[in-house]
Structures are given as C-alpha cells and as structure tokens.
Structure 1
C-alpha cells in the first residue's frame, strides 16, 4: 500500500509541475487577450 501511495504522490507532484509551467506560459497570453477585450475578468 505504501508503494501505491508514493506513486500517487509522485503523479500528483508531476501534474502540479505541469500545471504550474502551463500557467507561466499561458498567463501572459491570457492577460494580453483579456486586456485587448476590456482588461477586466
């Protein structure tokens, strides 16, 4: 069971890293499109 829990934690950690990197790459583009469309969310 401990091996399964460790695997789940590793997978969740990798997913968080991917989401964080995607947010870094996409946030400038999203903020640019939002500012063009009106600047507010």
Structure 2
C-alpha cells in the first residue's frame, strides 16, 4: 500500500518537473524575443 503511494507520488513529481521545465523554456524564449524586439526598436 505504502509502496504504491510512493510510486504514484514519484511519478507525479517527475511529471511536474517536466512540465516546469517546458514552461521555463517557453518563458525564456518569450523573454528573449521581447528583449530582441525592444533592442531592435
């Protein structure tokens, strides 16, 4: 019972980390594009 719970928690943790990583990449790309636009204008 406890093992199942811990494995589920571990799985959700890795999913959250992956999600955070994707969001971070997208945010950094958007930030970079905004900086580029400001620099050009």
TM-score of the two chains, using structure 2 as the length reference: 0.66
**C-alpha RMSD of the superposition:** 1.4
Compute the displacement of 1:29 (Å): 1.7
Task: Encode CA deviations 1:1-41: one digit per residue, 9 max, x unaligned.
Answer: 100000000000000000011111111223455xxxxxxxx
Runs of 5+ unmatched residues, structure 1 = 34-41
TM-score of the two chains, using structure 1 as the length reference: 0.66
Q: How many residues align?
A: 33
Q: Which contiguous aligned blocks of 4+ residues in structure 1 show a shift greater than 4 angstroms?
A: none
Structure 1 counterpart of 2:31: 23
Runs of 5+ unmatched residues, structure 2 = 1-8
